[in-house]
Structure 1
Amino acid sequence: MKLHFDMASVLQGDYGALFLHGIELTLAMTALAWVLSLVVGILLTLIRMTQSRVATAFVSTYVAYHRNVPMLVQILFWYFGIAAILPGPVQDVLNDYNGQFLFAVIAIGLCSGAYLSEDIRSGLRAIPFGQFEASRALGLNFFKTMRHVVLPQALRNAIPPMVNHAVLLFKNTSLAMAIGAAELTYVTRKIENETFLSFETYLVATIVYLLISLAIMLAGARVASHYRIPGVK
């Protein structure tokens, strides 16, 4: 039995351009969702630090929801559920301007923000309580204490787990295929359906995912090493 291996057919011409488009969309989705998740994570941490019962209950509920509901379900909920209750003109705009991409970014970013808030919270625990007291003794209010003293250290402490979640977020962008976002997994499936070159097509996608994941991990390791707080292991 003769094996046929035709990698060139899935990398040249229109298929090569389609792969590049899928990679670009995946990277854009990853970057935007990561920024959103970081903002959400910091806000949830600040809300929890107020020590209000209502605030703590809100954050706990938010984190529990996003941890226990599959991300795919959350993406489908945003695209089919939330979109359905929006005004007609807004729906039309979203349909004209790649609403699949936007809803995928929102769903993935909000979900990842729940995990990042726990990472940042763990980073806070590594900060001696005396620094809080010293900041307040110097006349800094709660928000200035968090902004200038506590959060910068907490974020530096939390870099390693945050990098792990960045890789996980990148891989989870593949779930956006379910709503038709033309990211890497979507275009891989499309090319495979048209060429019937399953091995070659999925091999390309596998290599791309692997290389980008390793690049994120390497960049994260360098950032963690650069911003590591002296004396903290």
Structure 2
Amino acid sequence: MNFSFDTILHNLPYLLGAAKWTILISLAGMAISIVLGVFICAARISKSDLLSRGAAVYISFFRGVPLLVQLLMFFYMLPHIGLDLPAILAAILSVGLCSAAYTAEILRGALQTIPAGQTEAAHALGMPPLSLWRRILVPQALRLGMPSLINELILLVKVSSLASVVGIGELTRVAQNITGQTYRPLEIYLAAAALYFVINFAIAQLGRLAERRLQLR
């Protein structure tokens, strides 16, 4: 069977259209991950035994259960509790909740590298805990954890393909559909792989740019 560039060119618009859902799931999931990860991290290092153990259980569960199982569980569980969300929202939430466990640990590791004197000085000046986290701890933790957070986002782009199991037409699902119609798996999956590479390469480059700018501050 001869390799056909025409097959790629003909189906490229469909793959590009599907790639937007891959990007949406990844970016929205990462946004949820960072916001929720900050609170989980704060609970994990809290002096409250209840909060710390609750955060530890959350992290252990979402890191210990495969994302595919979480996605299916989340998608089919919500209607039973009266939340009939669209599949795309269910996928974004499940990805974000899972990633938050990893983000919380990334931030916790970054916080451990911040000199304790900064927190002590803030307490001595009477700075409220919320201001301490908003002005000192979170910005530095995000800067120090930036490389790991970029890696987490790249991972989300790759695992977003799991959303195909709930019927979302993201890049992998559309590639599978096109392959079933054209019987040209080599060309279609090579094109899909190239698009994944371009997306992740762009994220990596933007991440490096963000790191350099943050280091200059």
TM-score, structure 1 normalization:
0.89
Letter in 1 for 2:21: L
Which residue does 2:206 correspond to in 1?
Answer: 219
Note the C-alpha offset of 1:152.
1.0
Kept after mapping to 2: 8 A contact 1:157/1:229: no
Matches within 5 A, 1:86-165: 86-87=81-82, 90-91=83-84, 94=85, 99-165=86-152
1:197 aligned onto 2:193: no
How much is the aligned-residue C-alpha RMSD, in angstroms? 1.4
- Tell me if 1:35 matches 2:31: yes
TM-score by length of 2: 0.95
Q: 1:71, 1:108 within 8 Å by CA — same for their partners in 2? A: yes
Instruction: Tell me the alpha carbon deviations over residues 19-76 of structure 1, each in whole angstroms, 9 at most, x when there is no partner.
Output: 1221111111111111111111111122223320000011000000011000000000
Contact 1:10 1:191 in 2 (8 A): no
Measured after TM superposition, the shift of residue 229 of structure 1 is 7.0
Change (3 A) 1:229 1:45: farther
Q: Distance in 1 between matches of 2:122 and 2:205?
A: 35
Structure 1 runs not aligned, ≥5 long? none
The match for 1:6 is 4
For the 8 Å contact 1:6–1:200, the answer to whether it is kept is yes
Distance 2:182 2:97 in 1: 36
The answer to whether residue 5 in structure 2 is matched with residue 18 in structure 1 is no
Once residues 200 and 38 of structure 1 are traced to their aligned partners in structure 2, the CA distance between those partners, rounded to angstroms, is 36
3-state secondary structure, aligned to 1:126: coil
199 and 79 in structure 1: CA distance in 2 versus 1, 3 angstrom threshold: same
Residue matched to 2:46:
50
Contact 1:25 1:183 in 2 (8 A): yes
**Structure 2 residues not aligned, in runs of 5+:** none
Deviations 1:106-151 (A, max 9, x none): 1111100110010111110111111111001111021111111121
Alpha-carbon separation, structure 2, partners of 1:148 and 1:50: 18
Q: Within 2, Cα distance between the matches of 1:228 and 1:116?
A: 21
Distance 2:123 2:93 in 1: 36
Kindly indicate whether the alpha-carbon contact (under 8 Å) linking 2:12 and 2:191 is maintained by their aligned counterparts in 1. Answer: no
> Following the alignment from structure 1 to structure 2, what is the Cα–Cα distance between the partners of residues 192 and 70?
27
Aligned-partner residue type, residue 122 of structure 1: G
Q: What secondary structure sits across from 2:3 in the alignment?
A: coil
Cα deviation 1:188-210 (Å, max 9, x = unaligned): 00000000001000000011111
Q: In the aligned structure 2, how far is the partner of 1:42 from the partner of 1:169?
A: 18
Percent identity between matched residues is 31
| Distance (whole Å) between structure 1 residues aligned to residue 177 and residue 8 of structure 2 | 11
Maintained 8 Å contact 1:120/1:155: yes
Query: 2: CA distance between counterparts of 1:110 and 1:62?
Result: 10
Aligned-partner Cα distance in 2 for 1:11–1:53: 58
Deviation of the 1:86 alpha carbon: 3.3
Give the distance between the partners of 1:216 and 1:16, measured in 2 at CA.
21
